[in-house]
Amino acid sequence: MAETSQIFRLTAEEIAEFSPMLQDFECQFWYPMGESREFRIEHPSLYTDFFSSMGDAYCFVALREEEVVGVLSSVIRTLVAPNGKTSQVAYVADVKITKDLQGSTLLYRLARTAILWLRPQITSAYSVVMDGTAVTPKQYTGRVGVPQFSWVGRVHLLSFSTTTNFPWMSRITEHPLNVSSAESGIEPRRTSTAVPTWASMNPLLRAQEGPVWLVDQQTNACALLEDTRRAKKLYDRQHAEYRYAHLTYLSYADPEHIVRLIPHACTRSHSSGFTHLFVTVPDTHLAAVQSHLEDIEHNAFSASIYGVSLSEDFPFLVHSSEI
């Protein structure tokens, strides 16, 4: 039956008429959040707004008799190396195939269509999936025309209740994100210049609350406190929304400095109606961070990164608000 479907590449400007069909289509898909919880995704605005917040967004849609049966979203992102050199990286995301066509050739056809179109414009590509997801990029890449995506690394999403009582507080200053800084992707302060950064990102497209930079006055560690509720919401099996804020784009000299930002981020998020806060920590820094959280109640979820032609420090470029 996969042979009867047609695949269309839609830009952010062309997606509007398909958005209602895509919203109905995505309701059938559930993703793991740890071992005991699941979530589904809803894009309440234009389907591509969430992806447009990261770069040039495109949606590859498979239609069968006016019905959406498959989706693969992609973003062409600009990566800035420490020496200032830029490169184009494709983020392959939001891969979904309707249940009756899972196991058919449609998944491969979608991936091949997207990669062949993206390939002349990019130098590398990546995808991120929550650990426990049944299908990973390794299963639909590596065939004719589609380069093999390999496991690159892992990030951990630490989840805190925004009502958590912390035994420490830090002196934090706030700097609201403005349009010019959103377009450039430059943090208010950089504590490390050894890691590449994303350019042309605009969290304002995905956030319902105004994103704000938090800066620790003692260590100069900083991070962006944001949400995705304008462009992406998560729901549980009882149809209740997971109201998560995200602490992203962290910049720090020592991984233990991350914990100094969390109490202020939780307090501010709680005042805005968020019940939990996600903090993304690369696998290599997890032990250092959790050693300071032994007496603090929190949950940890993990996500794996797959890709081609990626550097070993790529996990530092993956954030919970963009998974």
- Is pLDDT above 70 for 193? no
Residues 174, 137 share a domain: no
Residues 211, 142 share a domain: no
Distances in whole angstroms, Cα of residue 236 to Cα of each of 33, 37, 242: 10, 8, 7
Other C-beta atoms lying within 10 Å of the C-beta of residue 214: 23
Report the share of the chain in percent with pLDDT over 90.
Answer: 80
Structural domains in the chain (count): 2
Of 76-85, 115-124, 171-180, 309-318, the least confident: 171-180
CATH of the domain at 252: 3.40.630
Amino acid at 140: Y
Q: What is the mean pLDDT of residues 42-47?
A: 92
Residues 257, 168 share a domain: yes
Is residue 48 within 8 Å of 61, Cβ to Cβ?
no
Q: What is the mean pLDDT of residues 26-34?
A: 89
Residues 160, 148 share a domain: no
Residues 6+ apart with CB under 8 A from 10: 18, 48, 58, 59, 60, 61
- Is pLDDT above 60 for 184? no
Which pLDDT score, from 0 to 100, does residue 318 have? 97
Residues 212, 86 share a domain: no
135, 152, 169 - which closes a domain: 152
> Which pTM was predicted?
0.92
Residues 222, 293 share a domain: yes
Residue 96: domain span: 2-152
Residues 186, 128 share a domain: no
- Is pLDDT above 60 for 186? no
Residues 130, 110 share a domain: yes
CATH of the domain at 63: 3.40.630.30
Residues 287, 198 share a domain: yes
Residues 161, 148 share a domain: no
- Is pLDDT above 50 for 2? no
- Is pLDDT above 80 for 243? yes
Q: What is the mean pLDDT of residues 231-251?
A: 95
152, 167, 192 - which closes a domain: 152
Residues 174, 148 share a domain: no
Residues 305, 186 share a domain: yes
Given the structure tokens 């071992």, which residue do they identify? 35
152, 187, 222 - which closes a domain: 152
Average pLDDT for the chain: 91
**CA 208 from centroid of its chain's CA atoms:** 16
